Amino acid sequence: MHDKTTLNDALELMRDLRRRCEWDAAQTHDSLRPYLIEEAHELDEAIRSDSTPQMREELGDLLLQVLFHSVIAEERGEFDAGDVASGLIAKMRARHPHLYGEGSGESWERMKSRKRESIADGLPASLPPLHRAHRLQDRAAGVGFDWPDVTGPAAKVEEELAEVRDQLEGRPPLAAGAASTLDPEHALLEAELGDLLFACVNLCRKAGVHASLALDRANTKFEERFRRIEEMCRQRGISVGEAGLEQLDALWDEAKLAE
């Protein structure tokens, strides 16, 4: 029986590739950025599809990126994989003072808030908007700016929806993208819709649901139902583009019942 492969074996392989493979040797922190993002998305897709074999493979690909950056930094005399591990251990011990120290249990956001100058410190600008909204609200909650339960956020959603309805009242329907972003009324409507979305994210957060995951599942559900509509149209000789709202709505109800 062979010995179990270790993380040190993977690290040594990465060092060997940097010495002997032309492509690997040419990579830099900057050139690897697209691969890191791609691998993170592929791992997320594996988790989303609940595929254990794919998840194991994608975790390996993501680990490759961690080792790649660690070895590049090691070659430059900046830090090595051991320093990365040490930093991780120190951080996790600090996050759990009730387990690894003399402190008491406290939320991570509250501990971090004492070190931040602003609520947005350290949040990547490239975070998807739904995720960024969730994290900003988490951070605000960490310093006590939060409702005690879902009642407040639910009422806020209703309030913001009413303000959106006020903005929409009397406006003619427009095709997507038809309004100018320079139009003051359009800008005001956009602002009110943004407030509504932000309030919905907060309601999700207080209900223990991540808005981006909820929306992802809603997207999947919509896609699957609409595919059923398209299939029914093909079977019945109906053109989806010419069916009209009434017929498509009836097919939607039929597809929904089929679930």
Pick from 150-164, 167-181, 225-239, 245-259: least confident: 167-181
Name 15's Cβ contacts closer than 8 Å, sequence gap at least 6.
71
Q: How confident is the model at residue 24 (pLDDT cuts 50, 70, 90)?
A: very high
Tell me the C-alpha distance between 192 and 148, whole Å. 25
Is pLDDT of 81 > 80? yes
Residue 172 shares a structural domain with residue 249? no
Residue 218 shares a structural domain with residue 181? no
pLDDT tens for each residue of 220-241: 999 999 999 999 999 999 999 9
Are 167 and 160 contacting, i.e. CB atoms less than 8 angstroms apart?
A: no
Query: Does 74 fall in a domain?
Result: yes
Residue 97 shares a structural domain with residue 49? yes
Is pLDDT of 21 > 60? yes
First to last CA, the chain: 49
Handedness of CA 9, 10, 16, 19 (dihedral sign): negative
Residue 194 shares a structural domain with residue 221? no
Domain count, the chain: 3
Are 98 and 104 contacting, i.e. CB atoms less than 8 angstroms apart?
A: yes
- Residue-range definition of the domain harbouring residue 253: 214-258
Q: Which of 49, 22, 52, 23 is nearest to 35 (CA)?
A: 23
Tell me the C-alpha distance between 194 and 187, whole Å. 10
